[in-house]
């Protein structure tokens, strides 16, 4: 028998609140990882995070990347810093789990994915919802003909307005398109395949800042299946997906952000009646961390093609959009 591989030693670049609440607990709990260090440009902030998770505090991101006892990094920095620090981490020989989006454009994403591949490193975008078991279950329902042939898909991810000083309203961060819009776009790719094309778009932007606060994107497959993708941060909270088919429709709620103890409900409606199927709860954050560890251990490509196609579709949205100032 082979001895189990030692856990990957992972460091964290940045002290984002999302990392503290969602990702660091599952990273610390995964037996394939050892949370070794947290780095911040603020010594005090690094110390607070490190104390909470029982790891070392490092002052400065470069210092963490230079550490020989770090195998991988988790990067929850603001989007405009992703490209620079992903590249620095890869060139330092570290595997990278980075928050979405990897970069703000397809060319930058492709360059970093190629750099990772050339160096034999894993670069995984931390877009977690495809790792929740509910989506594999829904895809099987559709493949088994639960609503006949799929004709149309409607996906939405919207949240209420944020406080005025929220980082999402800073022009260089990317607004709602990069923060929420990537979710419906990735869902269209997940369910309809890599040949999804953007037909057009409407983007709503703040007059004062130019920041995109909402959008609607029609898309299609070469076979004519259509998709309506909605996102924004001036709405009520909604994360939903509805499939219209030749023989019925299927609905799924809490598509992107189900808590680990939440049992998803799949609702199907056909001419002969309605049905609800309650699926088991699942922890998509723990699942994506396990996927990252497996990819590093086995050298398995980590969804690079999906991340690249998503980035290209975001670019298509920006180039085709009718822009409305509000």
Token pair belonging to 184: 């419906």
By CB atoms closer than 10 A (0-12, 13-18, 19+), residue 122 is buried
Between CA 303 and CA 102 the distance in angstroms is 12
Those residues whose C-beta lies under 8 Å from the C-beta of residue 213, and which sit 6 or more positions away, are 175, 176, 204, 205, 206, 232, 233, 234, 326
Determine the 3-state secondary structure of 74 from DSSP: strand
Outline where DSSP puts E strands in 112-256: 123-126, 150-158, 197-198, 201-205, 212-220, 226-232, 238-245, 248-253
Determine the 3-state secondary structure of 141 from DSSP: helix
Of 290, 279, 244, nearest in space to 23 by CA: 290
Q: Which of 45, 94, 100, 140 is catalytic?
A: 100
Active site includes 100? yes
By CB atoms closer than 10 A (0-12, 13-18, 19+), residue 120 is exposed
State the CB neighbour count (10 A cutoff) for residue 68.
8
DSSP run (H or E) holding 9: strand 8-13
Total count of residues recorded for the chain: 326
Between CA 183 and CA 127 the distance in angstroms is 8
Are the CB atoms for 95 and 8 separated by under 8 Å? yes
Determine the 3-state secondary structure of 264 from DSSP: coil
Catalytic residue set: 100
């Amino acid at each position: 028998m082979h001895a189990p591989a030692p856990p990957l030693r992972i460091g964290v670049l940045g002290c984002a609140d999302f990392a503290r609440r969602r990702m660091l607990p599952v990273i610390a709990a995964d037996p394939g990882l050892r949370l070794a260090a947290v780095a911040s440009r603020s010594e005090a902030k690094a110390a607070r995070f490190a104390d909470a998770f029982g790891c070392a505090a490092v002052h400065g991101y470069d210092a963490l990347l230079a550490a020989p006892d770090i195998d991988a990094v988790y990067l929850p920095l603001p989007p405009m810093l992703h490209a620079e620090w992903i590249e620095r981490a890869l060139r330092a020989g570290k595997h990278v789990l980075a928050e979405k989006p990897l970069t703000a454009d397809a060319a930058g994403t492709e360059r970093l994915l190629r750099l990772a591949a050339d160096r034999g490193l894993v670069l995984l975008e931390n877009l977690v919802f495809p790792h929740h078991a509910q989506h594999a279950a829904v895809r099987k329902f559709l493949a088994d003909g639960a609503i006949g042939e799929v004709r149309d898909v409607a996906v939405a991810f919207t949240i209420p307005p944020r406080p005025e000083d929220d980082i999402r309203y800073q022009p260089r961060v990317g607004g709602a398109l990069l923060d929420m819009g990537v979710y419906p776009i990735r869902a269209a790719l997940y369910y309809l395949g890599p040949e999804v094309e953007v037909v057009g778009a409407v983007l709503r932007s703040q007059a004062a800042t130019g920041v995109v606060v909402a959008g609607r994107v029609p898309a299609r497959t070469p076979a004519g299946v259509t998709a309506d993708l909605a996102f924004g941060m001036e709405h009520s909270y909604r994360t939903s997906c509805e499939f219209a088919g030749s023989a019925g429709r299927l609905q799924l709620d809490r598509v992107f952000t189900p808590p680990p103890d939440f049992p998803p409900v799949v609702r199907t409606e056909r001419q002969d009646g309605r049905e609800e199927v309650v699926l088991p709860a699942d922890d998509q954050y723990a699942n994506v961390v396990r996927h990252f560890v497996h990819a590093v251990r086995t050298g398995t490509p980590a969804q690079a093609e999906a991340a690249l196609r998503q980035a290209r579709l975001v670019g298509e949205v920006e180039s085709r959009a009718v822009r409305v100032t509000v």
